[in-house]
Structure 1
Amino acid sequence: MKIYHVVKEYLVAKRLWEVFIYLFFGGLTTVVNIVTFALAYQVFHLNWPISNTISWIFSVLFAFVTNKVWVFQSKTENFKELVWEFSKFVFARVISFGMDMATMYLFIDLLHTGNLIAKLITQIIVVIANYIFSKVFIFKKVEIIEDEKTNSSSR
């Protein structure tokens, strides 16, 4: 655990911890996406659009929890705020899902690459887009403002 704390302190000091932890959980989300796609496509013999949709649903649910709890440490005061945050998350993911489907179509149907190779390529694009959506539009950090009294009393 000592190495973890040293690495974390270093990345926090360089303001890279959030990106690092996002890429870590983004990588895990990609694994969830690819494994569920492969299962749906190869084991259950579903076509690639259905397989891709199933993998998207699983990865969105996984990503919401990990992004909310560990990456952006977002706090919601009540159920209504949680639903609003989840709704924004799903909306942004629908946009990236459109990017995913378009890229899959390009690579599979037009360029005739393998399904899993296409899936890997699309995941790079999707992870970048999703980070931007989550950072800018969905998860808002609450900033703690220092009390002005402590600064004015020292004058």
Structure 2
Amino acid sequence: MDQLIKTMDFIFNGKLKLLSRFSATGVINTIIDFAVFTLCQSVFGLHYTISQVIGYSFGVINSFIFNKKWTFEYKSSGKKVIREVSQFAIVNLISLISTLVFMKFLINDFNLNVYLSKIIVTLIAQVINFLLYKIWVFN
């Protein structure tokens, strides 16, 4: 048990801190996104684009809170928060548009299953988000 605690401490507080925290936050965001996407798609019968927008939005809310406070440990106040939220929204709008374009392409042109397409576009969004959060939003 002690070894597990030491390993977890190294992963989340050592040399891999930023990447491991971003990844853990991303897993939580993805679970929230997929759960809401599936609920909208399968239970309510919404089109995949509407389901994607709704699911992604729920994941984004969680993402902002965890990435700001835990992953990047970014502290800001007053006017900086407005700038930060604006930049975060722009990054996620870029990611959302990218996911919608790629999802449509994968479903319509490659006839991929909607859920397989969702997994692929989620990975694309993670790369875009990490890079832009690191260099632009939480720096």
TM over 0.5: yes
Matches within 5 A, 1:40-119: 40-78=40-78, 80-119=79-118
Q: CA deviation at 1:135?
A: 0.6
Match of 1:149 in 2: none
Contact map agreement 2:12 2:21 (CA 8 A) in 1: no
Is the 1:18–1:72 contact (alpha carbons within 8 Å) kept by the matching residues of 2?
Answer: yes
Are the equivalent residues in 2 in contact too, given 1:8–1:17 (CA < 8 A)?
Answer: no
2:23 matched residue in structure 1: 23
Bigger share in helix: 2
1-structure distance, mates of 2:103, 2:64: 23
Are 2:98 and 1:126 equivalent residues in the alignment?
no
Match of 1:7 in 2: 8
- Whether contact under 8 Å (2:11, 2:20) holds in the other structure is no
Provide structure 1 residue ranges, at least 5 long, that are not aligned to the other structure: 141-155
Residues matched between the structures, number: 138
Q: Distance in 1 between matches of 2:69 and 2:84?
A: 13
Indicate how the Cα distance of structure 1 residues 120 and 76 shifts in structure 2: closer, same or farther if over 3 A, else same.
same
Distance 2:126 2:110 in 1: 22
TM-score, structure 2 length as denominator? Answer: 0.91
RMSD: 1.6
Structure 2: distance between partners of 1:11 and 1:38: 30
Residue identity matched to 2:99: D
User: Judging changes above 3 Å, is the alpha-carbon distance between structure 1 residues 138 and 115 closer, same or farther for their aligned structure 2 residues?
Assistant: same
**Would you say the 8 A contact 2:10–2:16 is kept in 1?**
no
Q: What is the percentage of aligned positions where both structures have the same residue?
A: 25
Runs of 4 or more consecutive aligned structure 1 residues displaced over 2 Å after TM superposition: 1-13
Cα pair distance change 1:60/1:23, threshold 3 Å: same
| Structure whose CA Rg is larger | 1
Deviation at 1:8, TM superposition (A): 2.3
Q: TM-score, with normalisation over the residues of structure 1?
A: 0.82
- AA of the residue aligned to 1:76: S
